[in-house]
Amino acid sequence: MNKKDKNSGKIIQWFDRVSRKPVLTVLLAILVLIFMTTGILTSLSPYQYLGELNKQFRSDSLMIQVSSNALDSLKFEEAFLKSRLTLSSLDSISLVINLKDSLATLEIKGVVIYSVKIEKINQSLIFNKMDPRLRLLEFTDPMQVSGVFSTIPKEQYMVKNAPADTSDLQSALPVIDTVITDAVCYIFYFENGLQFEIRQLEAPSGKVLRQYDRHNKRKEIFKIAGDLLRFKIPDYRPQISIEIRGVNARTIFRALPVKPAVVLKF
Amino acid sequence: MNKQFTEIDLLKPILQLKNGLIIWVTKKITFLKNLDHIYPRYFRIFLPLLCAVTPVAVLLVYIAFLPAIQEGGNIFLTSHHPVIIKDSADNENVDAMVARQKNIGKLQRALNKLTPSSSYLLINTSENKFQLYSGKKLIREGICSTGSYTMLVSGENKKWIFKTPKGIFRIRDKKTSPVWKKPDWAFVEEGLPIPPPNHDSRFEYGTLGDYALSLGDGYMIHGTLYQRFLGLPVTHGCVRLGDDDLEKVYHTLSIGSKVYIF
């Protein structure tokens, strides 16, 4: 056996030895390490979010004052009414969500023009852990929607070509929008990071809804994964989801402008 | 003692590794070939594929669970009370509460003032329903017809959109036995030539019902011959009401009354 073969033999032995178990173990360990690191970073994001709010809260000297449960509830009511008055100065229709009384209303210039009962409310766990006064600070002022994603269009036109003459005239009735049975779901993205979703109560199904859910999930995953790739704690976006009847959800969506103002009351 | 490294010396480990790898792979293939009698052929083909796909699949499943992991992070949060709350005497608290309550009353009154004290009409274009209010009291509700969201396109590069405008309007004018002066689109839609502005063929009697309330810009609240279409979005932008509802609306609203269309 010459020297070259001897060396090759050594390497094979080493590689063979290593390749059996340790390589697999190392790979597995790396994978677990990645999972753990990203998992910890991801699960830290609500903590970081709350920390930021606390910081803001502490810097607001006005908030450091006499406090009690009864007084807090009065503060919430006062802040809610103030926000509605602020909305009344706008020219467009606004959405007022009263989670406490389970009511969703449309208002224009302070006049309630539409009111529906909220059948079901789902919200991120963070709202239960959050000091109520933090909610007052962060979510009671009118919030501006920065983006919307929905299963239905804002306005749906049917194009009809004018007949050339009376013989070409068709007594075609337009496709009536109310017979379209696509699920009505939409989500508002706010500038302060909150996501507010309105879903139809009736058991929704169909391709449109699946696409909608997939889009939301994908958006969320990409956002988190993007932050993780930069070794950053992902931004936390608390979400509130309400369920109302499909017809009501459609009316609210169609009545609101593209980027409406919304007021929340917890 | 300093050893002089040549290029061959530097390449030696790489060459050794290369040769080693080739021998190792050959050995593995031989090993797999010998497994013929133990594992079926397709298993040997799919085994490496499975080994490659599994970690990727695990990673993808994990990534899909990231939002859930993020939300799960909330479980570890404790309730936060970051505010420095002054220890206060009860009377101090009571004073603060009285002041708040007064302010709430003031705000509530300011909001109430924004709702018209006179009669007003709400038109819901999505559900094709209307509600007639007198102050805060609902006095009538029912179905109506609003814009069809049809875009009429004429060959002459002209187009019209038939939708009911949204917002706050006021009653500008009230008429009994209104006559409809047909606009150009009414002729285009029927495939007829457009007549001169005040041609006899433009005036139609009875089409708008017994009453019409003008909202400006050619939009009106009026009656209809096609009662069966009430509750459906079929109009060219006007609001159509049933005969009885129209009569009530006509007699309740006065010129200047507000109409909220949404």
Residues in contact with B90: Cβ distance below 8 Å, sequence separation at least 6, in sequence order: none
Flag whether B91 is in a domain: no
Residues B63 and B166 in one domain: no
Residues B41 and B124 in one domain: no
- Looking at B48, B75, B102, the residue that finishes a domain is B75
Residues B49 and B133 in one domain: no
How many A-B residue pairs are in contact by the CB < 8 A criterion?
237
Mean pLDDT across A53-81: 72
Distances (CA, A) of A117 to A96, A185, A245, A248, A259: 12, 16, 9, 9, 23
Cα angle for residues A189, B76, A140 (degrees, 5° grid): 35
- Which of B81-90, B195-204, B221-230 is predicted with the least confidence, judged by mean pLDDT? B81-90
Identify the CATH number of the domain in which residue B180 sits: 2.40.440.10
Residues in contact with A116: Cβ distance below 8 Å, sequence separation at least 6, in sequence order: A103, A104, A105, A244, A245, A248, A252
8 Å CB contact of B151 and A158:
yes
* Lookup: tokens for A74: 């009065």
Q: Kindly list the residues from chain B whose CB atom is less than 8 angstroms away from the CB atom of residue A38.
A: 66
Classify residue B2 by its DSSP letter.
Answer: P
8 Å CB contact of B151 and A157:
yes
Residues B61 and B180 in one domain: no
List A75's β-bridge partners, or say none. none
**Residue in B closest to A126 by C-alpha:** B74
Whole-number percent of chain B with pLDDT over 90: 50
In terms of DSSP bridges, do strands A111-117 and A195-200 run parallel, antiparallel, or are they unpaired? unpaired
CA end-to-end span of chain B, whole Å?
Answer: 93
Flag whether B204 is in a domain: yes
Tell me what pLDDT residue A172 has.
47
* Lookup: tokens for A59: 């810097």
Phi and psi angles of residue B114, each rounded to the nearest 5 degrees, phi first = -75, -25
For the cut 70, the answer to whether the pLDDT of residue B156 exceeds it is no
Flag whether B47 is in a domain: yes
Which domains does chain A possess?
3-161+179-265 (2.40.440.10)
- E strand or H helix at A69: helix A69-87
Classify residue B254 by its DSSP letter.
Answer: -
Distances (CA, A) of B236 to A89, A121, B53, B242: 31, 39, 59, 17
* Lookup: tokens for B220: 């009106």
What is the distance between the alpha carbons of residues A136 and A94, in angstroms, rounded to a whole number? 19
- Give the mean pLDDT of chain A: 83
What is the distance between the alpha carbons of residues B174 and B253, in angstroms, rounded to a whole number? 9
Residues B134 and B256 in one domain: yes
Residues B191 and B250 in one domain: yes
pLDDT digits (tens, 9 = 90+) for B91-110: 666 777 888 889 999 999 99
* Lookup: tokens for B91: 């009377």
For the cut 70, the answer to whether the pLDDT of residue A32 exceeds it is yes
What is the distance between the alpha carbons of residues A188 and A195, in angstroms, rounded to a whole number? 6
Residues B31 and B158 in one domain: no
- Give the mean pLDDT of chain B: 86
Residue environment code for B93-119, b if the CB has 16+ CB neighbours within 10 A, otherwise e: beebbeebeebbeebeeebeeeebeeb
Cα angle for residues A183, A188, A194 (degrees, 5° grid): 130
8 Å CB contact of A234 and B92:
no
Q: Kindly list the residues from chain B whose CB atom is less than 8 angstroms away from the CB atom of residue A129.
A: 74, 77-80
Flag whether B81 is in a domain: no
8 Å CB contact of A11 and B16:
yes
8 Å CB contact of A54 and B74:
no
Mean pLDDT across A205-224: 89
Flag whether B110 is in a domain: no
Domain that holds residue B223: 119-261
- Which of A63-77, B54-68, B142-156, B248-262 is predicted with the least confidence, judged by mean pLDDT? A63-77
Residues B133 and B244 in one domain: yes
Q: Which segments of chain B does DSSP mark as H helices, in order?
A: 7-34, 41-64, 66-72, 90-114, 184-189, 243-252
Q: Which residue has the tokens 């819901």?
A: B124
Confidence of residue A60 (pLDDT cuts 50, 70, 90): low
Q: Which residue has the tokens 């609101």?
A: A256
| Residues B253 and B119 sit within 8 Å (Cβ to Cβ) | yes
What is the distance between the alpha carbons of residues A112 and A110, in angstroms, rounded to a whole number? 6
A61 near B CB under 8 A: no
For the cut 70, the answer to whether the pLDDT of residue A207 exceeds it is yes
Better-scored residue on pLDDT, B65 or A12:
B65
Measure the CA dihedral B43/B49/B51/B54, to 10°.
Answer: -120
8 Å CB contact of A108 and B20:
no
**Most B CBs within 10 Å, among A17, A68, A83, A87, to test the B interface:** A68
8 Å CB contact of A93 and B262:
yes
* Lookup: tokens for A248: 């009501």
Instruction: Out of A109, A163, A247, name the one closest to residue B127 (CB).
Output: A247
Neighbours of A125 (CB within 10 A): 15
Q: Domains in chain B: how many in total?
A: 2
Closest approach of chain B CAs to the CA of A61, in angstroms?
10
8 Å CB contact of A174 and B148:
yes
Q: Kindly list the residues from chain A whose CB atom is less than 8 angstroms away from the CB atom of residue B29.
A: none
8 Å CB contact of B66 and A165:
no
Tell me what pLDDT residue A241 has.
96
Better-scored residue on pLDDT, B33 or B212:
B212
**Most A CBs within 10 Å, among B74, B229, B260, to test the A interface:** B74
Q: Kindly list the residues from chain A whose CB atom is less than 8 angstroms away from the CB atom of residue B108.
A: 81
Residues B27 and B149 in one domain: no
Q: Kindly list the residues from chain A whose CB atom is less than 8 angstroms away from the CB atom of residue B125.
A: 254-255
Confidence of residue B143 (pLDDT cuts 50, 70, 90): very high
Cα angle for residues B43, B48, B52 (degrees, 5° grid): 135
Three-state SS annotation for B136-194 = CEEEEEEEEECECCEEEEECCCEEEEECCCCEEEECCEEEECCEEECCHHHHHHCCCCC
Flag whether B64 is in a domain: yes
- Which of A65-69, B159-163, B250-254 is predicted with the least confidence, judged by mean pLDDT? A65-69
Residues B250 and B146 in one domain: yes
Flag whether B113 is in a domain: no
- Which of A75-79, A174-178, A261-265, B22-26 is predicted with the least confidence, judged by mean pLDDT? A174-178
Whole-number percent of chain A with pLDDT over 70: 80
Residues B127 and B179 in one domain: yes
Tell me what pLDDT residue A175 has.
52
pLDDT digits (tens, 9 = 90+) for A167-201: 666 554 555 555 556 789 999 999 888 999 999 99
Residues B179 and B67 in one domain: no
In terms of DSSP bridges, do strands B179-181 and A185-190 run parallel, antiparallel, or are they unpaired? unpaired
- E strand or H helix at A107: strand A103-108
Closest approach of chain B CAs to the CA of A168, in angstroms?
7
* Lookup: tokens for B55: 């970690």
* Lookup: tokens for A44: 């830290």
Q: Kindly list the residues from chain B whose CB atom is less than 8 angstroms away from the CB atom of residue A168.
A: 191
| Residues B188 and B151 sit within 8 Å (Cβ to Cβ) | no
pLDDT digits (tens, 9 = 90+) for A82-135: 999 999 999 899 999 999 999 999 999 999 999 999 999 999 989 888 877 788
Classify residue A180 by its DSSP letter.
Answer: -
Better-scored residue on pLDDT, A17 or A80:
A80
Flag whether B38 is in a domain: yes
